[in-house]
Amino acid sequence: MKAGSKIVLVSSVAGFRPSTGLGIYSISKAGLNMLTMVLAGELGPKGIRVNALAPGTIKTRFSRALTDDDQISEGILSRTPVGYIGEPKDVVGAALYLASDLADYVNGAILTIDGGVMASAGLG
């Protein structure tokens, strides 16, 4: 069935692996990832596509304590292959894509937007 409606949830890369100090946050995002997949299976046959965005560190008011601290910011940058910390505009295109007709065949996806952090987590 051709897609009718789209649901785009906002998760986090924290939902894929544990991180010190983010226990409850990580647990809630892991649950949101599973919810994305379950709803995709249940609602897909009704023409509703369910996907999620999983950003890494993005410069927002929420992350200001991390991005404004030079030592923490340098640590984040050292693990980010693209060489910079993301900004809200880096997430917007992915959100628009998942909400558009271009993503009619995308269902149950959790798209990481993290500058390559997850892809290189086990390297080096």
Per-residue pLDDT band at 124 (split at 50, 70, 90): very low
Collapsing DSSP to helix, strand or coil, 89 comes out as: helix
Query: Please, are residues 46 and 1 in contact by the beta-carbon 8 Å criterion?
Result: yes
pLDDT at 25 over 70: yes
At 123 the pLDDT is: 53
Q: How far is Cα 14 from Cα 17, in angstroms, rounded to an integer? A: 6
Tens-place pLDDT, residues 36-88? 999 999 999 999 999 999 999 999 998 888 878 888 888 888 999 999 999 99
Residue with tokens 């295109």: 93
Sorted by where each begins, the domain ranges of the chain are 5-113
Which residue out of 25, 84, 97, 105 is catalytically annotated? 25
Q: What is the pLDDT of residues 93-116, one digit of tens each?
A: 999 999 999 999 999 999 999 999
The amino acid that residue 61 corresponds to is: R
Look up the CATH superfamily of 5-113. Answer: NAD(P)-binding Rossmann-like Domain (3.40.50.720)
Name every residue whose Cβ is closer than 8 Å to that of residue 45 and which is 6 or more positions away in sequence: 1
Q: Mean pLDDT lowest for which of 15-19, 24-28, 64-68, 111-115?
A: 64-68
Task: Indicate the range of 11-15, 23-27, 59-63, 106-110 predicted with least confidence.
Answer: 59-63
Query: Is residue 79 a contact partner of residue 117, using CB atoms and an 8 Å limit?
Result: yes
Tally the residues of the chain: 124
Q: Does 97 participate in catalysis according to the annotation?
A: no
